[in-house]
């Protein structure tokens, strides 16, 4: 965490890095979240509050410029974690928390780890702590306006670090007191904290005989946000209706179709209907999906030529998670694509392609098979070079451990040289060579991907999505100047990451962002979401598929507002929203993301991130209630092996 999430992102003050190394973050979060303790993200604690992400804690403390002799005040102690970190640097730390239960829990955690110079106080932090003032530094761990009492309680020469409210957003701000009446203000980066609420503005507080109204306060659900969605929503009954609505984007070169889970039937069926319409009527000849290239190639061969009498060397998509592409919804689409392709010339037939980087060993085999048919000497050379990777085929993730002894360095050069040879010594042209080159690229990229897993930061994610984008670019070039592509991937891949917490906080990009940066108005990003129902997912990686109940969306999440429209299914064209409505739907809110693993017990930490809906997507498709994909037929029925998945 300290090396790759803090130092790499610019935290340079040695005292801060040392303190972050020493304080056990798991002591300040619920036990069921301990596995997420050192991820660079906020986590939920009691009283609907959060513990800030480690980077923000370090950033605020570094801006405060703490020294060993300092006395520090924190407003909004929360879990007590930031106060503990400051306690490893400063002489005395006083942290005020307005929630009594949180204050007591923080005090217990501080006492457990034995930090006697950190004092947790239950009270109203907006009033400061005049009995201990002046303070060399004041850190406010909640967003809003600067309370006047804090300006008076910071020492001359001291600093206040606070997320100030600026035009509806929060800006991390440094306020240095120059003398009794002068302050120097410096703005830093945009942030998002829970609101700073003075005692008189809290629910239930009585002022001059009347109760303070709750509507309009930070954190309260705007009463008309679901109304804005309802007014702009285009309800649909059938998937055919939805496909007609999506045709407004048929003039684009790339249309990306997302999903908020990897195991929802409605998402597959809806994307299939849109894809079939774009392929049949609008010249789209590439269907590129979040899947392994060698496995998708088997589906591709089945839809672009007759599968009758042709035997497959192996069944596709047999590794975890099998249900993503071995389900009835996918097979129904493949059958329709095959029908559309019949009678078309090869250039205008739609192909089915995998974009992902996981197929390390299957791609090695594909390269060796190709070279074995065309250049036996080159095949032997490639086999020798790939020898440094083949021992890790059963567990590619273990390749990252070679980083400890730099054992990967020679392997990296060897696997790249196989691709270089293919590119410079072309023995033929056409589909076979293109396929072999792509598999060689995957081996080279997979080597980097598994090596970067060691770091545990944004590098591996960015490498994977860059690879998916590069693959899409090569497909568009390969299929000719008139090529058009439909992309299927999770919302977290096809929604513009720069408009979400992925980009704001974790410095991650994705294929949707890269597509938008390259194609601008010539692309469309369409997200898909749901409120509740069932999903096919596992408890852990490589675990068995289960049909799991999807909990109702968290309050004030995008999905919660959509559910409150009382419209079961709708298409929301975000591009066509007027200025005021677009601005309201641009307010960052929680958004759910369920991958192949679903852990309802840690719903907030595991499956939500903040996003600007109106700018993340060009359109959004909503299903209030959904069911799991039909993956019962994960293997062909007896007698279907030769023609699977088209056996009847």
Q: H or E stretch including 184?
A: strand 183-191
The residue among 92, 111, 87 whose CA lies nearest residue 16 is 87
- Rounded to an integer, what distance in angstroms lies between the CA atom of residue 633 and that of residue 274? 24
The answer to whether the beta carbons of residues 77 and 103 sit under 8 Å apart is yes
Rounded distance between C-alpha atoms, residue 607 and residue 491, angstroms: 12
Instruction: Tokens for 521, please give them.
Output: 């108005």
Strands 43-44 and 50-51: antiparallel
Give φ, ψ of 616 to 5 degrees.
-70, -40
**C-alpha torsion angle, residues 637, 640, 641, 644 (rounded to 10):** -100
Measured between alpha carbons, how far is residue 50 from residues 53, 141, 194, 590 in Å?
A: 9, 10, 8, 13
Other CB atoms within 10 Å distance of the CB of residue 37: 17
Label residue 78 left, alpha or beta by phi (over 0 means left) and psi (-120 to 50 means alpha). Answer: left
Burial, 151: exposed, middle or buried (Cβ in 10 Å; 0-12, 13-18, 19+)? middle
Kindly give the residue spans of alpha helices, DSSP state H, lying in 505-585. Answer: 511-519, 558-563, 579-584
State the catalytic residue, choosing from 52, 141, 226, 492: 52
What does the block give as tokens for 290? 């979040």
CB 608 within 8 A of CB 554: yes
Q: In the annotation, is 466 catalytic?
A: no
- Interatomic CA distance for residues 643 and 303, integer angstroms: 12
Euclidean distance between CA atoms 534 and 121, whole angstroms = 44
Active site residues: 52
């Amino acid at each position: 965490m300290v090396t790759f999430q803090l130092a790499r992102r610019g935290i340079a003050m040695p005292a801060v890095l040392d303190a972050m190394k020493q304080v056990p973050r798991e002591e300040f979060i619920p036990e069921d979240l301990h596995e997420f303790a050192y991820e660079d993200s906020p986590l939920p604690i009691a009283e609907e509050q959060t513990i800030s992400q480690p980077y923000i804690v370090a950033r605020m403390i570094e801006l405060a410029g703490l020294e060993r002799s300092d006395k520090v005040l924190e407003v909004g102690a929360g879990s007590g974690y930031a106060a503990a970190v400051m306690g490893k640097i400063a002489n005395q730390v006083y942290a005020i928390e307005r929630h009594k239960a949180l204050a007591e829990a923080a005090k217990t955690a501080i006492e457990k780890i034995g930090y006697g110079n950190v004092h947790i106080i239950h009270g109203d932090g907006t009033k400061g702590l005049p009995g201990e003032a002046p303070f060399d530094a004041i850190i406010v761990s909640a967003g809003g306006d600067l309370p006047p009492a804090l300006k008076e309680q910071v020492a001359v020469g001291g600093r206040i670090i606070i997320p100030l409210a600026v035009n509806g957003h929060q800006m991390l701000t440094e306020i240095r007191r120059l003398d009794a009446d002068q302050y120097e203000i410096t703005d830093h980066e945009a942030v998002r904290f829970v609101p700073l609420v003075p005692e008189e503005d809290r629910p239930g507080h009585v002022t001059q005989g009347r109760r303070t109204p709750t509507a309009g306060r930070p954190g309260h659900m705007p009463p008309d946000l679901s109304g804005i969605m309802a007014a702009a929503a285009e309800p649909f009954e059938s998937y055919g209706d939805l496909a007609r609505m999506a045709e407004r984007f048929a003039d684009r070169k790339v249309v990306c179709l997302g999903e908020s889970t990897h195991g929802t039937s409605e998402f597959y069926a809806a994307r299939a209907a849109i894809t079939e319409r774009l392929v049949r009527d609008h010249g789209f000849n590439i269907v590129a999906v979040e899947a392994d290239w060698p496995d998708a190639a088997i589906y591709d061969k089945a839809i672009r030529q007759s599968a009758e009498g042709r035997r497959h060397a192996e069944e596709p998509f047999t590794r975890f998670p099998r249900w993503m592409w071995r389900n009835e919804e996918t097979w129904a689409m493949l059958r329709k694509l095959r029908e559309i392709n019949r009678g078309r010339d090869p250039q205008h037939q739609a192909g089915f392609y995998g974009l992902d980087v996981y197929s390390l060993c299957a791609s090695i085999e594909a390269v060796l098979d190709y070279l074995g048919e065309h250049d036996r000497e080159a095949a032997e050379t490639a086999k020798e070079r790939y020898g440094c990777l083949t021992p890790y085929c059963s567990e590619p993730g273990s390749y990252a451990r070679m980083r400890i002894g730099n054992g990967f360095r020679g392997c990296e050069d060897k696997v790249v040289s196989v691709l270089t040879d293919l590119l410079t010594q072309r023995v033929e042209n056409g589909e076979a060579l293109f396929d072999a080159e792509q598999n060689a690229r995957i081996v080279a990229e997979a080597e980097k991907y598994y090596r970067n897993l060691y770091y545990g930061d944004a590098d591996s994610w960015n490498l994977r999505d860059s690879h998916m984008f590069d693959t899409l670019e090569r497909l568009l070039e390969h299929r000719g100047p008139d090529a058009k592509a439909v992309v299927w991937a999770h919302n977290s891949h096809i929604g513009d990451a720069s408009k979400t917490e992925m980009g704001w906080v974790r410095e991650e990009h994705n294929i949707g962002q890269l597509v938008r940066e390259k194609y601008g108005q010539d692309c469309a990003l369409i997200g898909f979401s749901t409120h509740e129902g069932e999903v096919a997912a596992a408890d852990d990686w490589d675990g068995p598929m289960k049909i799991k109940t999807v909990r109702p969306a968290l309050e004030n999440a995008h999905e919660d507002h959509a559910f409150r429209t009382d419209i079961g299914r709708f298409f929301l064209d975000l591009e066509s929203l007027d200025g005021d409505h677009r601005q309201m739907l641009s307010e960052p809110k929680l958004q759910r993301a369920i991958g192949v693993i679903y852990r309802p017990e840690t719903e907030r930490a595991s499956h939500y991130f903040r996003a600007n809906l109106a700018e993340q997507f060009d359109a959004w498709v909503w299903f209030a209630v959904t069911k799991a994909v039909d993956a019962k037929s994960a293997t062909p029925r007896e007698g279907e092996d030769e023609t699977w998945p088209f056996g009847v």
